[in-house]
Chain A
């Protein structure tokens, strides 16, 4: 188990709602090896975001075991960085200081991480913006700052919750390429939550498919394609076949009505 950066075993989560308890997750087992890129795809309501909250220690699970770096999760994790769908930058802080929010909130010495924050901004091409304020950046640039913030304390696990969901299609493609490059450079384990099959397959070593109500794992696919992958690979037969299988899996679980359209 110890080579697993993250290991969820038979995890249940029951929300005790006002009227009757709601089962949000049922018997979920997900794991990721060190340096692995794992995507979780599923329809809305499949508990993807709940999963994120459990792993990051924001809410307790009801049953099963949740291990991060081999240790059970109680409360916030030292070695986890999170990227949400919205960049969640603080408008009163400069870009550099926004990256350092991670350090500040954790009570670590901000001075010691300044250089690391700068080199991360350089990696995503935002060096010139370190003194700018969030409103001066486009959505894609803001999300890059969010990624830098999630990486600045050198976490072993990066959790991304639909990080490109709010971006336009062009920026999204650009960000996929960029995330792949960052991941290949840093070899951080990534848990990538999305409902875009394209993003999931393009980026991942492994795609975990979840079904809804209750949230459960309904399938798992290994993506065996050479890296670095290119946007044009999306049109390759291997990519299309895999997308079809994932889609079929989602359809079987009742998550998707059987529709006949190319990969979204």
Chain B
């Protein structure tokens, strides 16, 4: 009888065990998880510093990280102001990509005709290099926020659409049969079965999209802008100020990494149950 078999195992504590592990151990582990990435980063900086020192590379070609760090501090007002501006472009572009990409994926999955009409256009739009149409967008939309958001959206929207539609379709047929046999409507299946099933794939799309949004905003700024980190980089390289280019680049990398981590954090929260996220992926019993 399964009752006796199961109770002989340390079952009673299981759910509690899973929800909150031994806190002291997990705090240590968390600290380690936070620190580990910085080891690689620190190593990289040391190598960088050594290369500039050993080969005596002139500052305008490759400044040492110390000089770059000093420059970030001295030029912080300039960098932070433009950081905020680029951040705005990226976030708006990303949000528009999500707000358009996910509903578009729903439409594509729900209706074959919509898919047949929409997909060729979307795929064709991806074949066009965004850098090539960026000048056009500047002509049409001016030097402000809008063209950057549009370019950012054009680049980032595609991975959102593709990953979401793939995810929504990747529900087992038996699962669909099961819930249909329970009388579930198409809408209910969409939101209570397909959408949760798709979440892991949606999030991998979002992670690609947030990185591409940064690229998009930067392309926009390179082509025509009067502020933003891309604009600072262009003007700095125009005046052969290599150190400022590097300082801006570091700030830009920081921007990309932080945004990516925010998406990853939301992912960890939203799909705690998924293999890719959970830390505690052990099978409790093997009966």
Q: Which residues of A contact B (CB under 8 A)?
A: 53, 56-58, 75-78, 80, 82, 84-86, 88, 90-92, 101-102, 104-107, 124-126, 128-133, 135-138, 140-141, 144, 171, 174, 177-178, 181
Closest beta carbon of chain B to A53's beta carbon, Å? 7
Main secondary structure of the interface of A (DSSP, over half): loop
Contact check, A82 vs B285: say whether CB atoms are below 8 A apart. no
**B17-31 at interface with A (beta carbon < 8 Å):** 18-19
Q: Choose from A56, A90, A105, A132 the contact partner of B284 (Cβ within 8 Å).
A: A132
> Which residues on A sit within 8 Å (CB–CB) of B144?
none
Give the residues in chain B near A136, CB-CB below 8 Å: 14, 18, 283-284
CB-based contact B181/A76 at 8 Å: yes
Is B180 touching A76 in the complex (CB atoms < 8 A)? yes
Q: Is the CB of A133 within 8 A of B174?
A: no
Complex Cα distance A53/B176, Å?
A: 12
With both chains docked as a complex, state the minimum distance between the C-beta of B193 and any C-beta of chain A, in angstroms.
Answer: 7
Is B32 an interface residue when CB atoms closer than 8 A count as contact?
Answer: no
Provide the residues of chain B in CB contact with A86, threshold 8 Å: 172, 174
Please pick, from B5, B14, B278, the residue contacting A129 in the complex, using a CB distance under 8 A. B14
Residues of A within 8 A of B57 (CB): none
CA A106 to CA B12, docked complex, whole Å: 32
Please, could you name 27 A-B residue pairs with CB atoms under 8 Å apart, sorted by A?
A75-B183, A77-B181, A80-B181, A84-B178, A86-B172, A86-B174, A88-B172, A90-B196, A101-B182, A102-B182, A124-B2, A125-B1, A125-B2, A125-B7, A128-B7, A131-B15, A133-B273, A137-B283, A138-B283, A138-B286, A138-B287, A141-B285, A141-B287, A144-B2, A174-B2, A177-B1, A178-B2
- Cα–Cα, bound, A181→B154 (Å): 60
Which residue of chain A is the closest to B12 with respect to CB atoms? Answer: A128
From residue A74, how far is it (CB to closest CB) to chain B in Å?
12
Indicate if B118 sits at the interface (CB-CB under 8 A): no
**Contact residue range for chain B?**
35 or more
Contacts of B178 in A (CB 8 A): 82, 84, 88
Q: CB-nearest residue of chain A relative to B6?
A: A125
CB contacts (< 8 Å) of A106 on chain B: these are 182-184
Task: Give complex CA distance A53, B180 in Å.
Answer: 10
Which residues of A are found within 8 Å of B196, using beta-carbon distances? 90, 92
Which of A75, A105, A174, A181 meets B188, CB within 8 Å? A105
Measured CB to CB, the closest approach of chain A to B139, in angstroms, equals 47
Taking a contact as CB atoms closer than 8 A, the residue among A76, A102, A104, A129 that contacts B11 in the complex is A129
Q: What's the least CB distance linking B170 to chain A, in Å?
A: 13
Tell me if B179 counts as interface (CB < 8 A to partner A).
Answer: yes
* Contact mask for chain B residues 35-65; partner A; CB cutoff 8 A; 1 contact, 0 none: 0000000000000000000000000000000
* A80: B residues at CB distance < 8 A: 181
Is B208's CB within 8 Å of the partner chain A? Answer: no
